Structure 1
Amino acid sequence: MGNSSNKAFLKKQLDAWKLRHSNGNETEMKSPKRRALFLGSALFALTHNTAWAETWPARPIKLIVPFPAGGSTDRIGRLLATKVSAALGQSVVVENVGGAGGTIGMTRVAKSTADGYTFGVGANSTQAISTFLYDNLPYDPLKDFVSVGKVAEFSNVLLVNEKLPVKTVQDLINLAKAKPGLVTYSSPGVGTTSHLSGELFQNLAKISVTHVPYKGAAAAQADLLAGHVDFMFDVLGTAMGLADSGKLRVLANTGRSRLKQYPDVPTIAETVPGYDLTGWFAVFAPSGVPSDIVERMNSVINKAMNEPDVVETLLKTGYESVTGTPADLTRQLEQDLATWGPIIKSIKAKTQ
């Protein structure tokens, strides 16, 4: 542990000792004999705690992916597990725990023993959006988890049917203002990132468009291709394939900056200031995991996400490898909670 961690640990032990033994009588703590006894106990605990952190990991680590096998979260989780396992010299076992938009798996993470042997691959959807989307969510995204590190980011793209007479984001805004409520957009369902991208768009652009929810992305894409709806926000990998068919037109991406894969595609924010819907994946641990373990895992993850083969693999599938500190991830989560709370509450997108 660093000096600051040592001081914090000793203070915590001192406070606990006072509570257990002094019964409010401060004179007992002034006894040299009692103080020496306390310091000896605290130093033993400190040494034991440090030694434990230094020997971690002594057994296989579990990485919970809160979505079914084969999806994007699963692919990123397995890629990460392979790299972390090689770096630590210990097996990292991926366990898929899907259901309820990823919240069942992240609940499992939150309720796991905080010993450094269970981590989870969360996302902005499971940690921020679901907080407002689901009633009685079994976990608090800030209190029940320890941030370990972000691993990837992604953007959706704004697609329109090629027959729609718009070539830019401003054209679409002008059309929506000329026909309030008549311009439509599809999504895979209420509360999905695609749906919320549209809500954020109309809120910031000050337009009125009509949301048409479908049961899944395939149906939403099919009606956009058929011209039954006017536009859609879709994931990059799928969207660019549809655009290449010539039946759809890409107007912009939802992120804060232009995509490395498609530098000619502008961001929505270039037309609508403040617009940013950048999705992300990150590693979390149950609250209470020792800081030394969190810091070491963060270091290993950052090194893995910077490896050229990882960067290339993610780019090919529409994702960008990212790194950062646990504090960076916590700030991102706090920002997303502040952004999505009012939006989701305003549309009452509650999942029963």
Structure 2
Amino acid sequence: MRDSRSLYGPRRALLATALAAGLLSSPIAFAQGATGSWPSKPIRVVVNFPPGGAADQLARAVGQPLSEALGQPVVVENRGGANGNIGGEVVAKSAPDGYTLLMSSGGMVSVNPHLYAKMPFDPAKDLVPVAAAARVAVYLMAKPSLPPANVKEFIQYVKANPGKLSFGSPGNGSSPHLAAEMMKSQAGLFAVHVPYRGAAPALQDLLAGQIDFYFDPGIGLQHAKTGRLKLLAVGSMKRSPLFPDVPTLHEVGLKNFDADTVFGFYAPAGTPPEIVNRLNTEINKVLRTKPIQDRIVAMGGEALPISPAEFGAKAMEDSKRFGAIIKERKIAAD
């Protein structure tokens, strides 16, 4: 009869090997392993709007210094459509390993659930907030040939010509669209909405005179400076440092008018907290640098380095605010 003690060593080694294999295949161990070596390959940032818009500009502005901080390329990929839902779904259904992020306007998280009877994913459950990038205001702009010289005259002009003027937006339910609906509601205006697939094409048609006015998310400010567009008002609670003489809509009588939205980075639900926190830390460092702050200000925004929890709370607050105007104006998705 063999001594059982002679089998103890091999059995213990076998058991240890089996346990190690099981542990390494567990989600917890995988997350710990991924966190320890992360990042070891390029990081993809999906922008859920077309090139040229505010989300795209912010992703590229932050992407380069973030790449330098992490020691890996940050590759921006535009996946526009369905008011941000297409790009959002791509990220929501990606592996939660920190290698796929979403750069989105706050609208996809705060607005789309109010617009769509059914979405292919649940932003609140399938995505986690990583880092805000900027608070983005919208600017009421008109084509230069439009007669009004200021925003008070503009409101009176639109009111005197119901249905004769048209305005563009990046799409139904986008923050510029909601800003226009808020203005129409408070001022009692009627104008025709022309939705586009992104902010850039809407801006191009305004420059070409194909539409009469537009709430711009900052990408058209250079044209306001050169006189190619007429900047009438800011759709925020405070004036822009770039245009200190341009009033807010709140100042001219549309009380508590606030169409600001927060753009930022999200990750698939289940992404290890250590990776989320590392990303938040590095992105916030980038946002505190003067070159990036200046670039965001030039876009008409304000850098917003806050925690993931604060970012998530802001999205919930905006959801209530924008949800109310969507319900009132009976706005639906395309």
The interval holding the TM-score normalised by the smaller chain is: 0.7 to 0.9
Counterpart secondary structure, 1:283:
strand
Report the CA distance shift for 1:221/1:212 in structure 2 as closer, same or farther (over 3 A): farther
Contact 1:195 1:211 in 2 (8 A): no
- The correspondence for 2:48, drawn from 59, 66, 73, is 66
Cα separation, partners in 2 of 1:162 and 1:211, compared to 1, 3 Å:
same
Contact 2:219–2:299 (8 Å) recurs in 1: yes
- Aligned partner of residue 266 in structure 1, secondary structure: coil
Structure 1 residue 184 corresponds to structure 2 residue 165: yes
Partner of 1:258: 239
- Counterpart in the other structure of 2:250: 269
Deviations 1:270-324 (Å, cap 9, x if unpaired)? 2322111113320001111122221111000000111122222333343332211
Asked if the contact 1:128–1:333 (Cα under 8 Å) also holds between the matched residues in 2, the reply is: yes
Report the 3-state secondary structure (helix = DSSP H, G, I; strand = E; otherwise coil) of the residue aligned with 2:101: strand
1:90 to 67, 72, 77: 72
Q: Secondary structure at the match of 1:236?
A: coil
Q: 2:260 aligns with which of 257, 268, 278?
A: 278
CA RMSD of aligned residues (A): 3.1
Structure 2 partner of 1:219: 205
Q: CA deviation at 1:245?
A: 2.7
Instruction: Note the C-alpha offset of 1:89.
Output: 2.0
Report the alpha carbon displacement of residue 266 of structure 1 after superposing the two structures with TM. 1.8
- CA spacing shift, 1:249–1:70, aligned 2, 3 Å: closer
Closer, same or farther: CA 97–171 of 1 in aligned 2, 3 Å: closer
Could you list the runs of 5+ residues in structure 1 that have no partner in the other structure? 1-40
The letter of the residue matching 2:69 is A
The alignment status of 1:236 with 2:218, answered yes or no, reads: yes
325-334 vs 339-348, which deviates more? Answer: 339-348
Q: How does 1:170-181 map to 2 (within 5 A)?
A: 170-174=152-156, 179=160, 181=162
1-structure distance, mates of 2:206, 2:329:
20
- 2:306 corresponds to 1:310: no
Residue in structure 2 matched with residue 37 of structure 1 by the alignment: none
Contact 1:185 1:198 survives alignment (8 Å): no
1:152–1:282: 8 Å Cα contact kept in structure 2?
yes
Distance 1:343 1:263 in 2: 28
1:251 aligned counterpart, secondary structure: strand
Between 1:250-259 and 1:62-71, the stretch displaced more is: 62-71
1:293 to 275, 279, 298: 275
Q: What is the CA–CA distance in structure 2 between the aligned matches of 1:240 and 1:273, rounded to whole Å?
A: 28
CA distance in 1, matches of 2:142, 2:50: 30
Q: What are the superposed Cα offsets for residues 152-196 of structure 1, whole Å, 9 maximum, x if unpaired?
A: 23222123456666554444445566x483673411454443332
* One-letter amino acid of the structure 1 residue matched with residue 188 of structure 2: I
- Structure 1 residues 325 and 222: CA distance shift in structure 2, 3 A: same
TM-score, normalization by structure 2: 0.78
In the alignment, the residues of structure 2 paired with residue 113 and residue 214 of structure 1 have an alpha-carbon distance, to the nearest angstrom, of 33
Which deviates more from structure 2 when the two are superposed, residues 136-145 or residues 292-301? 136-145
Rounded to whole Å, the distance in 1 between the matches of 2:122 and 2:155 is: 37
Distance 1:101 1:45 in 2: 33
For 1:277 and 1:47, how far apart are their aligned partners in 2? Answer: 44
The aligned counterpart of 2:118 is 136
**Amino acid aligned to 1:254:** G
The 1:127–1:170 alpha-carbon spacing in structure 2 relative to 1, beyond 3 Å, is same
Contact 2:126–2:269 (Cα < 8 Å) also in 1: yes
1:233 deviates by 2.2
Output the TM-score relative to the length of structure 1.
Answer: 0.74
Write the distance in 2 (CA, Å) between the matches of 1:45 and 1:317.
41
Give unmatched runs, 5+ long, in structure 2.
1-22
**Matches of 1:298 and 1:183 in 2, distance apart?**
47
Alignment correspondent of 1:210:
191
Q: Contact 2:48/2:86 (CA < 8 Å) preserved in 1?
A: yes
Contact 2:237 2:250 (8 Å CA) reproduced: yes
